[in-house]
Amino acid sequence: MAKNISFTLRFWRQNGPKAQGYFDTHEMKDIPDGTSFLEMLDILNEELIEAGKEPFVFDHDCREGICGMCSLYINGTPHGKTERGATTCQLYMRRFNDGDVITVEPWRSAAFPVIKDCMVDRTAFDKIIAAGGYTTVRTGQAQDANAILISKEAADEAMDCATCIGCGACVAACKNGSAMLFLSSKVSQLALLPQGRPEAAKRVKNMIDKMEELGFGNCTNTRACEAACPKNESIANIARLNREYIAAKLAD
């Protein structure tokens, strides 16, 4: 049965990457438990604006669990996950109890500077992807479906890796601020397919160099990234990334 809940919301305020941040609080009253978390934040902003206060800034786009823009750290967990495979926009207020204190923070990483409040700059991920360069694929008329033989196992695994949405939950969850799960998924989706092999060695070296240049930490196999990933990416990808990198360096 649907019910309304009331709770205290603690949300992060920060006017930029160099500004001093702080927690603001607001009492939320009689919120239907069928309300999504982002809809609840919309209600918060309506109340703040009516009170003559500045609205709370947070990132969102599709609200369908596809884009990963809803990058919020809720009660100490990326995307506020209480179950595997969900983004913030797929979190509903029924997951919380009447009288709770809910704390909302931004992704905390040196590579993700705060733009304002809980909106962070994740262009570091775009720079890693750009460092990977291109793939040698002929353009023009599509090739025959059987021209490049790929096993179903490899195709399925490559597709699983390609489901990474680059939300940054792995970085936020990692005590080292590592981007290895993201990077390994992007490397793996090409390394598993013959179309990605010609530039594989150059790609993995350039992407790892760029990741280190941007200030991400290294992986120490705590698996926090895997637990936080809304698309259930596996740390087996990190093992593949390491093999690809070692092989590329030995070839040098």
Query: What confidence tens digit (pLDDT) does each residue in 32-59 have?
Result: 999 999 999 999 999 999 999 999 999 9
- Mean predicted confidence (pLDDT) in 81-92: 85
State the CATH number of the domain containing residue 151. 1.10.1060.10
In a shared domain, residues 158 and 229 = yes
Total domains present in the chain: 2
- Mean predicted confidence (pLDDT) in 220-241: 95
Asked whether residue 246 is assigned to any structural domain, the reply reads yes
In a shared domain, residues 131 and 208 = yes
Within 8 A by CB and 6+ apart from 236, the residues are: none
In a shared domain, residues 100 and 160 = no
In a shared domain, residues 56 and 100 = yes
In a shared domain, residues 72 and 169 = no
In a shared domain, residues 100 and 129 = no
Which residue bears the tokens 């009331």? Answer: 6
- Mean predicted confidence (pLDDT) in 237-247: 96
Using pLDDT thresholds of 50, 70 and 90, give the confidence band for residue 75: very high
In a shared domain, residues 93 and 125 = no
More confident residue, 138 or 213: 213
- pLDDT for position 213: 96
Backbone angles phi, psi at 108, to 5 degrees: -110, 105
- CA–CA gap between residue 161 and residue 237 (Å, rounded): 8
- CA–CA gap between residue 112 and residue 123 (Å, rounded): 8
In a shared domain, residues 91 and 126 = no
Within 8 A by CB and 6+ apart from 177, the residues are: 108, 109, 110, 111, 171, 215, 216, 217
- pLDDT for position 137: 73
Per-residue pLDDT of 106-117, as tens digits, reads 999 999 999 999
Q: What is the pTM of this model?
A: 0.91
Per-residue pLDDT of 114-173, as tens digits, reads 999 999 999 999 999 999 998 887 777 877 777 778 899 999 999 999 999 999 999 999
- CA–CA gap between residue 67 and residue 150 (Å, rounded): 28
State the CATH number of the domain containing residue 27. 3.10.20.30
231: nearest Cα among 162, 176, 173: 162
Asked whether residue 151 is assigned to any structural domain, the reply reads yes
- pLDDT for position 84: 76
In a shared domain, residues 153 and 100 = no
Asked whether residue 31 is assigned to any structural domain, the reply reads yes
Examine the fold and report which residue of 105, 134, 164 is the final residue of a domain before the chain moves on.
105
Asked whether residue 115 is assigned to any structural domain, the reply reads no
- pLDDT for position 142: 74
In a shared domain, residues 37 and 91 = yes
In a shared domain, residues 235 and 195 = yes
- CA–CA gap between residue 147 and residue 33 (Å, rounded): 53
Q: In the predicted model, is pLDDT for residue 79 greater than 70?
A: yes
Using pLDDT thresholds of 50, 70 and 90, give the confidence band for residue 82: low
**97 lies in which domain range?**
4-105
Asked whether residue 222 is assigned to any structural domain, the reply reads yes
Q: Could you please report the per-residue DSSP string of 20-74? A: PPEEEEEEEEEEETTSBHHHHHHHHHHHHHHTTPPPPP---S--SSSS-----EE
210: nearest Cα among 190, 193, 186: 186
Examine the fold and report which residue of 47, 72, 105 is the final residue of a domain before the chain moves on.
105
- pLDDT for position 146: 75
Which residue bears the tokens 């927690």? Answer: 23
